[in-house]
Amino acid sequence: MVKTLFGQVKQYKKVSMLTPLFTALEVFMEVLIPKEKGLSNVIPYFYIFLVAGMLISKFSTQKMIDAGKHKILVVISLVVLFITMGSYFFMATAVHLLAAGFLLGIGYGILQPLFQSFVTGTTPGPKRGTANATYLLSYDIGIGIGSFVMGMFQESIGLSAGFAVTAAAYVIGGIIYAAYVDRYYLKLQQKQQ
């Protein structure tokens, strides 16, 4: 069982390399930045806007995901997330926090099902459960590692500046996607046909 798990992690780690970009967001951003900026009373509404963005992106992009138009969706989501994270440096109002939550939901709502379709779409039927479990395991590991690294990093420069700097991680993720993940995905997809 352990040998199979390690084999699956090795095969699907390419897709999950972008996962740590989202992990620190889940732990720090929704609570600590609003407190630092005096916007704590808006936090519950942040989640409503985040979920609304995720729902809109899910319903509006699912047909594109099913049609295999993943390149444009990755570019759109990374650009939206880059702008959103960069804007945290200038955050000062509740409206900005809510807009950032909505845009974060759109970007994340595109990438999460897209990554899952990468994993399940390139895996033979009998192995899809293992592939999905491996993807979700790597996501959870990324949450732990991302939170730890971002916590150490942001302690020295502050939360707003730290999250603005993470916008660069989306650029790096985009480069990794363009240079490696896209070709790897297409190769696996062609192998299945």
What are the pLDDT tens digits along the chain (193 aa)?
444 444 544 454 444 544 554 544 544 555 556 666 677 788 788 889 999 999 999 888 888 888 878 889 999 999 999 999 888 888 888 898 899 999 999 998 998 888 888 888 788 888 888 888 888 888 888 777 877 777 777 778 877 777 777 788 888 888 988 888 888 877 877 776 6
pLDDT of residue 112: 85
pTM here is 0.75
pLDDT of residue 1: 42
Of 167, 145, 139, 161, nearest to 32 by C-alpha is 161
The single residue listed with the structure tokens 């409206």 is 95
pLDDT of residue 3: 47
**Start-end of H helices in the chain:** 2-16, 20-24, 30-37, 43-66, 70-87, 94-121, 128-157, 159-165, 167-176, 182-192
Query: Could you give the CA distance from residue 188 to residue 193 in angstroms, rounded to a whole number?
Result: 9
Q: Cβ of 53: how many Cβ atoms within 10 Å?
A: 24
pLDDT of residue 145: 82
pLDDT of residue 55: 92
